Structure 1
Amino acid sequence: MLQYPQFDPIAFRLGPLAVHWYGITYLVAFGLFMLLARLRLKHEPFASVTGPGEWAAKDVEDMLFLGVIGVIVGGRLGYCLFYKPDFYLAHPLQIFYVWQGGMSFHGGMLGVILAQLWFAHSRGKPFWQVMDFVAPCVPLGLAMGRVGNFINGELWGRPADPSLPWAMVFPQSGSLVPRHPSQVYQFLMEGVLLFVILWIYARKERRPAQVSAAFLVGYGVFRFAAEYFREPDAFLGILALDMTMGQWLCVPMILLGVLLWVWAETRSEAPPRRTAQARR
């Protein structure tokens, strides 16, 4: 088994300012989104849209700005409401204590959806076209978040067989029990693998909402599976049906994704065809 390498969570200092690795991983995630979104501008149907709904690099910048707000606000409120509602109802001012940690992916996702709904409305773009544009650009950003979790030595896994070659001891857990490095599992599944699947799937023109549906199902399934290796939150533990809070939040996500994909498939509107000019 392996020993957790005990990273210093502070990357460097600039006078009294401490720059944390976790913050750097967020910046890298936003940079990856910019890079991938600019590549998406060359994909169909976005490359062929003309007129008021035409896509441009400025759209990517505005989407990222709104998305950052959605991630931070939605992620924080989601954590407070999904994981510790009683505590934050009793101490509402601590909702704003973001430096103490506590973010929820599912809350962040809802925040991003609302932010992109506003973007679509303000730019006169179809909502599902916007969401299908965004979906393949997200997983690598999520992967960077898991890198931050690993550096911080948080969200460690459940106890593992000591004979497992990559079982790891996390002193932060308060014991010397070998555990699954669940942050690495989530990095690989929810991040890298989901990105590859969505990027390939989205390269072929799909019906509106189907790429978004694939993201919901893909992330939901991978996160649900990863939760079997991740130590449940101590203040929640295992909930009904031997499932964690993360798994319970993934269930409606998966169901919604399946229903959304079926709804998109049964709609009469087919994916836009490329024009002769676009094919050239």
Structure 2
Amino acid sequence: MINLLLGMMAMTDPAADRADRLREAAELIDALGSTLGSHAAASADGDLLRDLAADQVGLARDALVFRIEDAALAAPGVPVPVGAGELLRQFRLYWLCAPVSLFPARNWGFDKLDLHVEFNRDAEAGQRRPVALDVLPGPEIDEVVDVGGQVDVSVDPSARFRVATPDIDLTPLGVPVEAAASLEASASAGVHAALGPFRYRVTRARISHTPVGMEYVHWRIDDAAHLEKAGPSLVVLLAVPRPVRAVVVHAQMEASRYFKFASAPLQDKIRQLPSRLRDYFMRDGAPAVGAAVWDITAML
């Protein structure tokens, strides 16, 4: 679905296209309840679809970027994992955080979030591009997070995210704590943290993403509880080739819901719509879409 979305957004105004589909579907559902030949008045089920126009989703105007200093991966007395030295020779490392805003229409919620980010997608053929060494959230979050739970996230010497349950209540989203606290927490755990711990909150959900090491990342957060109440920050451990001086990130997102949870009468009426509209709701979840372009060059 996200690949279709990327193509559509290049050719059309996705917000206008969505508004047209919602309006057309609502008017057809109004007509299902009207007497043949009479003017179709607004119906309760038609109004439910019209209400979806109030969905608001978006990405922050600017991404949050933090440099991971080379020295942090080579603390005194801590052995550097095999390959880490070569990694630092070729790349500069960054924590890239993409805050997401989700505000669904009244009486509705979002169940699924897709986000696709790509690094220097317009680079010339043969030019090296930044890659994602690790991503968060990922499937490992389910092992330590309850619904609405919070975790401490740090970057370990092998340049991977380390996730642990905190002992104290922390505020959400990827905001770094004081450096002293970071070092103290890492020392007490017997693990040197290259960066962090960071404060992070996410609801329990089925979380998946594309393999690491690519020039892009596609997340999917599926079947999430109350996703609208705490839009998750999506985080990349970004490796930028040292010769590369400019980095531009293109991001596309969509938030959708499962209409199988709608009332039986509304589901029945949606199934009577033309196939292109029926599939838009029952298969695609009438996605609300957003996009952003982040030029993070000045923060490198």
TM-score by length of 2: 0.22
When you count strand as a share of all residues, which structure comes out higher?
2
Point out which structure has higher relative CO (alpha carbons under 8 A, 6+ apart): 2
Task: Determine which structure has more spread, i.e. the larger CA radius of gyration.
Answer: 2
